[in-house]
Amino acid sequence: MTATEETAAESAPEKPLDWLGQSIKRKEDDRFLAGRGHYIEDIDLPNMLHMAILRSPYAHATINSIDTTEAAALPGVVAVVTGELLAQHNLAWMPTLSGDTQAVLATDKVRMQGQEVACVIAEDRYVAHDALELIDVDYEPLPAVVNPFAALEEGAPLIRDDKEGQTDNRVYHWEAGDAAATEEAFLEAHKVVAVDTHYPRSHPSPLECCGCVADLNPASHRATIYMTSQAPHAIRTVFALVTGLPEQNIQIISPDIGGGFGNKVPVYPGYVVATAASLLLGRPVKWIEDRTGNLISTGFARDFHMKGELAVARDGTMLGVRVKMLSDQGYAYADAQPSKLKAGLFHIVTGSYDLPAAHVVCDGAYTNKAPGGVAYRCSFRVTEASFLIERLVQNAAVELGLDPAELRRRNFIQPEQFPYTSATGFVYDSGDYETAMDMALEMAGYDELRAEQQRRRTEGGKLLGIGLASMTEALGAGPSRDYDILGIKMFDSAELRVHPTGKAILKLGVRHQGQGHETTFAQIVAHELGIPPDDILVHEGDTDNTPYGLGTYASRSTPVAGAAAAMVSRTLREKAKKIAAHLLEVSEDDLEWEHDRFSVKGAPSQTKTIQEIAFAAYTNHPMGMEAGLEGVHYYDPPNLTFPFATYVVVVEVDPETGEWQPIHVVAIDDCGVRINPMIVEGQIMGASPRASPWPPCRRSPSTTTATASGPTSWTT
Amino acid sequence: MKQSITVTVNGQSRSAEVEPRMLLVHLLRDVFRLTGAHVGCDTTSCGVCTVLVDGTPVKSCTMFGVQVDGRSVTTVEGLAANGAMHPIQEAFKEEHGLQCGFCTPAMMLVATALLEENPDPTEDDIRWAISGNLCRCTGYQNIVKSVQFCAEQMRQASAGAPS
């Protein structure tokens, strides 16, 4: 090294750190901390009207008549919308994201308690609610079906008599795996253990309810619809199809979202009525759902009745699993599942185990309950599957007299078996399940816990319960060959614009609800291009200004849109290389990339930083090259991704009362590369307590009789 | 019939003509355009509308606007001073005490009221103080840590301050 080079090296700024894997503080926090988040209810447009919804007190009833005279006459009321009015515009029914239909406002019948029956549009929110009291609906109650087994019985009341050709309450029948091979495996079994359980209905219950502000400008013919949507692009397409408005004239803006957890994926009647009302009245219309409405009418989760059987050999080797599952869909099939997979990814039910044979039979039934079945803090229906297989493994351990950890150890898919094709057709990418479990056991002090458990059993006092679960989750939908919503393939997208001053804006087709995208995705670009995260604005949730994408749910944003962000960054880096070669007057082959700059090989002082290159892209780009440093990438993942985990939960149980209390939770998750460990851990710490209501079988109560009218629900 | 009220909001005197039935949260949000207090339920359950009335945490969906006539209200917009974040805001950022941000303003106001009364709270004290406020994102653990961090910072600052 020459003296000149040494001096240059010494005075060169410190190499920037790699932003990947850094727990940097969240970029989005400042506005939330200042109370300057911009949520749906904060949107206030000039001349705006307010909408309130009248809901059915009955789970199943014929509507004889709706008298809106008094409500319409109340000063301040601008309009009262009923299903009859919507039917005149062919808007009384709308498609669901699973290809079924759902009423916007009831016309003939109500089919669930809390169903939308009429809407009041008024100058003031208080007046709108006053007017609801003045609407007189004449209902004739019908027998309600709130149990999916009863719904499928011969002679059960037909819930969807509006659907041509629908003669019973069956929504779908779907199978996965190999029935014959599984049958054979069961013949070889030393023992068959069974679980017959109901994974109860629950509600994601984000703290912010749903809402929208629809602004159809009669002069520009544009519809600007602010909406609490986790999937604004897909919703725009559905709105174009439902309303007949040209898609380019619909702008869906999903502002800051106060939690979603799957609840804000479906299309809800309130959105459609507010939009229709704005169209008819020529004024902005705001609808903010109340909590009661949110709990009783919007996307629930779970509600699977599952019968599982696990065949095991004498030494504990798992031979096969078979499942018969009945899903309570409510009165419409509105799960937002990939269209090929009626029960989502429930067939991941073989879990983390080398199970050579599996057969899964899933049926869905209509009942007089709210539709939904959303992916609540998980990939599509994976939680239900994990619960079932882990219960089966626990029962098998008890019946075989084996320690549950030992039984898992004997059956885990081994690291050398990956890529591993499961009996139901998933191709698991990688995993090291035993290491994850060993880490969890060690952190929990498993051996000491077992000894303590034994001691307490003999000495009395509070008992110790030790729960163990290993999980493999299939997520990141998806490869477009298998995954779509209403035919729209489940890719996702990223557009990156690097401006002349070296600052950038990243636009994505997904929409976060607290997951930290504004930080995480900036870190991905920072990792690829060396632009510090503080210099990158991440923009989501505006269909006019972001590339098309399927949205944020089912644990798909980072694996799909995050990959798109990396891919578009790499494309820009390739262009940057050409510009650097031009600026440094060398061949591209003579350049090497490090962190945030291209340097000439062997002459490290000859460099151009990404910021210098960005400036040149607009001021001094090579002749014949397009100006600018911008790009867009649509990423279609080749496969799902398969993170895994082992959790240990220790509870104390009062033997006198049965009361129990968790005292220690250990979570070992392998999610792949941690882009921001602080955010990853925050997600896990936030999700874990949500699991606690299921073991004691807390559930969202629903109507049990046709006349039940008190809205009752609780959340998990 | 509307009533005239005068309220001190974040240190400033504000007047309004409001219907007696207007809730405090709507007075703050719709009349004064301070949208940091949110609405998450209709049953006084979730606590995201919490503000301080004369220093005491109050669920503003369960109080009428006319009831704060002549009183003092602090909202999240009143936490930062002279362009600098309040220590509780710094703490929530530091300890990742927020995700979607919807419950955060209320959580921070409850925490400041607690620390005003008890500068050295135990974990149980903190959990008791926030027990009227729901969060669906964080699992509460980092909220507790944020309050502990803030308490520590404030104690250090007051120990270092000239007496």
Is B108 inside any structural domain?
A: yes
Spatial distance between the Cα atoms of B153 and A480, rounded to a whole number of angstroms: 51
The answer on B38 and B93 residing in a single domain is no
- Same domain membership, residue B65 and residue B102: no
Taking the CA atoms of chain B, what radius of gyration do you get in angstroms? 16
How far apart (Å, rounded) are the C-alpha atoms in residues A389 and A579?
A: 55
Tokens at residue B95, please?
Answer: 């300890």
Disruptive mutation site among A22, A28, A32, A714 for chain B (greatest number of B CBs within 10 Å) = A32
For residue B120, the domain's CATH number is 1.10.150.120
**Cβ contact, residue pair B46, A292, below 8 Å:** no
Q: Can you give the C-alpha Rg of chain A in angstroms? A: 28
For A248, the token pair is: 């380019």
Same domain, B11 and B70: yes
Examine the domain organization and report whether B62 and B95 are in the same domain: no
Among all residues of chain B, which has the CA nearest to that of A692?
B139
More confident residue, A660 or A179: A179
pLDDT in tens, A408-421: 999 999 999 999 99
- For residue B38, being part of any structural domain is answered with yes
pLDDT band at A575 (very low <50, low <70, confident <90, very high): very high
Would the pLDDT of A713 be above 60?
Answer: no
**Which of B61, B102, B145 is the best substitution to test chain A (most A C-beta atoms within 10 A)?**
B102
Q: How high is the pLDDT of residue A243?
A: 84
The two three-digit tokens of residue A601, written as one number: 């090989």
For residue A703, what pLDDT band results from cuts at 50, 70 and 90? very low
Q: In whole angstroms, give the CA distance from residue B161 to residue B163.
A: 6
- Chain A hits for B25, CB-CB cut-off 8 Å, are none
Task: Note whether residue B64 is domain-resident.
Answer: yes
pLDDT in tens, A60-86: 999 999 999 999 999 999 999 999 999
Q: Write the burial class of residue A480 (CB in 10 Å: 0-12 exposed, 13-18 middle, 19+ buried).
A: middle
> How would you classify the pairing of strands A660-670 and B72-74?
unpaired
The DSSP line for A11-36 is HSPPPPPP-TT--PPPTTHHHHHTT-
pLDDT at A4: 41
Please answer yes or no on whether A205 and B139 come within 8 Å at the CB atom: no
Which residues of chain A have a CB within 8 Å of the CB of B79?
Answer: 34-35
Here the tokens at position B148 are: 């502990």
Contacts of A552 (CB under 8 A, 6+ apart): A230, A231, A260, A510, A511, A512, A513, A515, A517
Domains of chain A: 492-635 (3.30.365.10)
Within chain B, where are the H helices? 24-26, 87-94, 104-117, 123-129, 141-160
Q: Which domain holds residue B128?
A: 87-157
Same domain, B119 and B95: yes
Rounded to the nearest angstrom, the minimum Cα separation between A512 and chain B is 9
d(CA A143, CA A472): 42
What is the C-alpha separation between A614 and A503, in angstroms, rounded?
A: 9
Q: Tell me whether residue B152 is in a domain.
A: yes
Beta bridge partners of B84: B81
Residues B20 and B44 placed together within one structural domain of the fold: yes
Confidence bin at A1 (pLDDT 50/70/90):
very low
**What are the tens digits of pLDDT across the range A486-504?**
999 999 999 999 999 999 9
- For residue B156, the distance in angstroms to the closest alpha carbon of chain A comes to 22
How far is A416 from A410, CA to CA, in rounded Å? 15
Q: Looking at the DSSP assignment, which residues form a beta bridge with residue A469?
A: A647
Residues of A whose CB is below 8 A from B35: 35, 39, 41-42
As a three-state string, the secondary structure of A240-258 is HHHHCCCHHHEEEECCECC
Structure confidence at residue A689 (pLDDT): 85
* Start-end of H helices in A425-556: 433-444, 446-459, 517-529
- Statement to judge: residues B69 and B128 lie in one domain: no
Length reported for chain A: 716
The kind and range of the H/E element at A174 are strand A170-177
**pLDDT value for A6:** 43
Inspect the interface and report whether the beta carbons of B99 and A686 lie closer than 8 Å: yes
Q: A697: pLDDT confidence band, cut at 50, 70 and 90?
A: low
The reply to whether B15 and B49 lie within a common domain is: yes
Q: Are B136 and A513 within 8 A, CB to CB? A: no
Q: pLDDT tier at A704 (50, 70, 90 boundaries)?
A: very low
Q: Is residue B13 located within the same domain as residue B57?
A: yes
- Range A668-676 average pLDDT: 95
Q: What is the largest CA-CA distance in chain B?
A: 54
Structure tokens at A102: 């759902």
Residue B163 lies in a domain: no
Chain A hits for B101, CB-CB cut-off 8 Å, are 28-29, 31-33, 37, 256, 258, 514
Whether B89 and A33 lie within 8 Å, measured CB to CB: yes
Domain total of chain B: 2
Residue B162, domain member (yes or no): no
CATH of the domain at B39: 3.10.20.30
Q: Looking at residue A197, what is its pLDDT?
A: 94
State mean pLDDT over A645-656.
Answer: 95
Assess whether pLDDT exceeds 70 at residue A94. Answer: yes
Q: Is B138 part of any domain?
A: yes
Angle between helices A517-529 and A563-584 (to 10 degrees): 30
Q: Annotate A614-639 with DSSP letters as a single string.
A: HHHHHHSPPTTSPSSEEEEEEE--SS
Last residue in a domain, options B36, B59, B77: B77
Whole-number mean pLDDT of chain A? 93
Instruction: Name the nearest CA neighbour of A613 among A640, A575, A586, A643.
Output: A575
Which H or E run includes A270? Answer: helix A269-281
Nearest CA in chain A to B79: A34
**A26–B96 C-beta distance less than 8 A:** yes
Kindly state the tokens that stand for B111. Answer: 């925490």
Residue A27 has pLDDT above 80, yes or no: yes
Cβ-based contacts of B2 with chain A (< 8 Å): none
Co-location of B66 and B122 in the same domain: no
Both tokens of A81, joined, read 């919308």
Mutate to test the interface with B, among A33, A124, A256, A664 (most CBs of B within 10 A): A33
**Nearest residue of chain A to residue B37 (CA atoms):** A35
Residue B82 falls within a domain, yes or no? no
Domain closes at, from B20, B53, B77 = B77
For A29-33, A373-377, A697-701, which range has the lowest pLDDT when averaged over its residues? A697-701
Of A171, A262, A274, A319, residue with least CA distance to A556: A262
Helix (H, G, I), strand (E, B) or coil at B144: helix
Average pLDDT, integer, range A437-463: 96
Query: What pLDDT, on a 0 to 100 scale, did the predictor assign at position A244?
Result: 87
* Model pLDDT, residue A288: 98
Tens digits of per-residue pLDDT, A330-381?
Answer: 999 998 889 999 999 999 999 999 999 999 999 999 999 999 889 898 999 9
Give the CB-side neighbour count of residue B144, counting CA atoms within 13 A. 14
> What are residue A145's phi and psi, to 5 degrees?
-115, 115
- Asked whether the beta carbons of A66 and A119 are under 8 A apart, the reply is no
Q: Is the pLDDT of residue A135 over 50?
A: yes
What is the percent of chain A where pLDDT is above 90? 90
Tokens of A153: 């019985």
Q: Do B85 and A33 touch (CB under 8 A)?
A: yes
Q: Is 60 exceeded by the pLDDT of residue A252? A: yes
SS3 of A596, please?
Answer: coil
Among B77, B102, B128, give the residue marking a domain's end. B77
Q: Do B11 and B68 belong to one domain?
A: yes
CA distance B91 to chain A (A): 10
A34 and B103 within 8 Å at the Cβ level: the answer is no
State which residue of chain A sits closest to B139, comparing Cα positions: A686
B46: nearest CA in chain A? A207
B110 and B143 housed in the same domain: yes
CB atoms within 10 A of CB A194: 15
A308/A391 Cα distance (integer angstroms)? 9
Q: Is the pLDDT of residue A2 over 50?
A: no
Is A207 close to B136, i.e. CB distance below 8 A?
yes
For A532-550, the pLDDT digits (tens) are 999 999 999 999 999 999 9
